[in-house]
Copies of this chain bind each other. A is one copy, B any other.
Amino acid sequence: MTNRHETKDITLDFTRITAAAAGEEHGISDKQLKGLQNRAGKIHRALMELRQKGEVGFYDLPNSDTSRLKKFASRVREKYENLVVLGIGGSALGTTAVHAALRHGFSHLLTKRKRNGYPKLFVVDNIDPDYFSELMDVLDPKKTLFNVISKSGTTAETMAQFMIVFDRLKKRLKGKWKKRVVITTDPAKGLLRAMVDEYNLASFEIPPNIGGRFSVCSAAGLMPLACAGVDIDGFLAGAAQMSARCETGNIVDNPAYLLGSLLYLADTAKGKSMAVMMPYSTKLYGMADWFRQLWAESLGKRRDVDGREVYVGQTPIKALGVTDQHSQVQLYVEGPFDKVVIFVKVENFAKRVDIPELFTDKKELSYLAGSSLNELIKVEMEGTRYALEKHKKVSITITLPEISANTLGQFIFMLEAATAFAGGLYGVNPFDQPGVEFGKNYSYAVMGRKGYEKLRNEIKEQSGKIPARIL
Residues of A within 8 A of B (CB): 11-16, 18, 20-21, 88-90, 92-93, 104-106, 108-110, 125-135, 137-138, 154, 156-157, 159-160, 163-164, 166-167, 191, 212, 252-253, 255, 258, 273-274, 280-283, 289, 292-293, 296-297, 299-302, 311-313, 315, 317, 320, 322-323, 325-339, 349-356, 358-359, 362-369, 371-377, 379-380, 382-384, 386-387, 390-391, 403, 433-436, 438-444, 446-450, 459, 466-471
Contact = CB atoms under 8 A, between A and B. Distances in A.
Nearest to A91: B326
B159 A130 contact: no
Contact of A355 (B130, B163, B292, B446): B163
Contacts of A90: 326
Given A129-B373, A163-B365, A327 B469 contact: no
Nearest to A18: B469
* Number of identical monomers bound together in the oligomeric complex: 2
Given A156-B368, A333-B435, A335-B301, A383 B440 contact: yes
A88 B358 CA distance: 21
Given A106-B134, A273-B336, A470 B353 contact: no
B15 A470 contact: yes
A166 to B, nearest CB: 6
Contact of A282 (B13, B18, B126, B137): B126
A11 B469 CA distance: 10
A434 B330 CA distance: 7
Contacts of A379: 442-443, 446-447
Contacts of A299: 331
Contacts of A359: 163
A249 to B, nearest CB: 15
Contacts of A258: 471
> Closest 10 CB pairs between A and B?
A89-B326, A300-B331, A383-B442, A313-B335, A300-B335, A367-B449, A334-B435, A293-B327, A383-B439, A387-B438
B376 A443 contact: yes
B302 A391 contact: yes
A296 B330 contact: yes
A160 B125 contact: no
A212 to B, nearest CB: 8
Contact of A191 (B109, B274, B322, B365): B365
A333 B437 CA distance: 10
Nearest to A397: B470
Contact of A138 (B106, B362, B459): B106
Contact of A435 (B13, B110, B329, B383): B329
A69 B364 CA distance: 30
Contacts of A125: 323, 326
